[in-house]
Amino acid sequence: MLPLAALVAGCGTIVSSTETPSRPDTITRANLLGPYEGRVIEAGSDKPLAKALVVGSFGYSRGVGLRAPAGASVVETETDADGRYRVEAPATLPTGPSVRLDRFTLIVYARGFVAYRSDRDIDGDQVRFRRDFTQSGNVVRLLKMTPALSHAGHLEFLGVWGGPPRLSRALAWEFERAAPPGAAPPEAP
């Protein structure tokens, strides 16, 4: 019983280490709990983008060794007139002896622009691992959508097929315009 009691007693949330730098000018690692702040600008002109939708997700897992997904704390906000955003640490964290904050993911979406994800980037039709995300002083340069990138390709890059609610609503128009990945029903094999 003693080990079990010890397990129950140790209920503080574990915060994983992260490869993300705390700022662009340092190799010091970020605090996964945040806060996260940065600025969204239009690529090329460097003009700030106001009212861009910003989604921050703190993702959890649970279990010592045996890790199962344990949900996420999701924040949806907008950039201010100067294009700035700030995502605070979750007010409350899930409890349990092995609950762990695994990751933080930032998504920025503005209609007419290629969306931003903190964990991956898209160049043409090539999607790759993003390495320039930082906790503070992060600069999000949004490129305007071009015909070279289809809505279907953009949605696949973004990879959000349900919630979060505001993002889901914001994406509805793009799903309506997305050319279907497949055209006609295939012939029966």
x/- string (CB under 8 A) for other proteins, residues 147-186? Answer: ---------x--xxxxxxx-xx------x--x-xxxxxxx
Omega before 164 within 30 of 0, i.e. cis: yes
Q: Considering only residues 25 through 54, tell me which ones interact with other proteins, judged by CB under 8 A.
A: none
CB nearer other proteins, residue 76 or residue 80:
76
x/- string (CB under 8 A) for other proteins, residues 10-29? Answer: x---xxxx-x----------
CB nearer other proteins, residue 111 or residue 169:
169
Q: Rule CB under 8 A: is residue 102 a binding residue for other proteins?
A: yes
Near other proteins by CB under 8 A: residue from 96, 110, 116, 134? 96
Q: Give the closest residue to 104 by CA, choosing from 67, 142, 129, 74.
A: 74
Q: What are 137's two structure tokens?
A: 């002083």
How many CB atoms are located within 10 Å of the residue 40 CB? Answer: 27
Q: Rule CB under 8 A: is residue 188 a binding residue for other proteins?
A: yes
Near other proteins by CB under 8 A, which window of 39-47, 78-86, 126-134, 140-148?
126-134
Look up residue 68 and give its DSSP letter.
E
8 A C-beta contact, residue 85 and residue 137: no
What long-range pairs does 174-182 form, CB within 8 A, spacing at least 24? 175/151, 177/151, 178/150, 178/151, 178/152, 179/150, 179/151, 179/152, 180/152, 181/152
**DSSP count for the chain of H helices, then E strands:** 3, 10
Binding site for other proteins (CB under 8 A): 1, 3-4, 6-8, 10, 14-17, 19, 55, 57, 59, 61-72, 74, 96-100, 102-103, 105, 107, 117, 119-120, 127-130, 156, 159-165, 167-168, 175, 178, 180-189
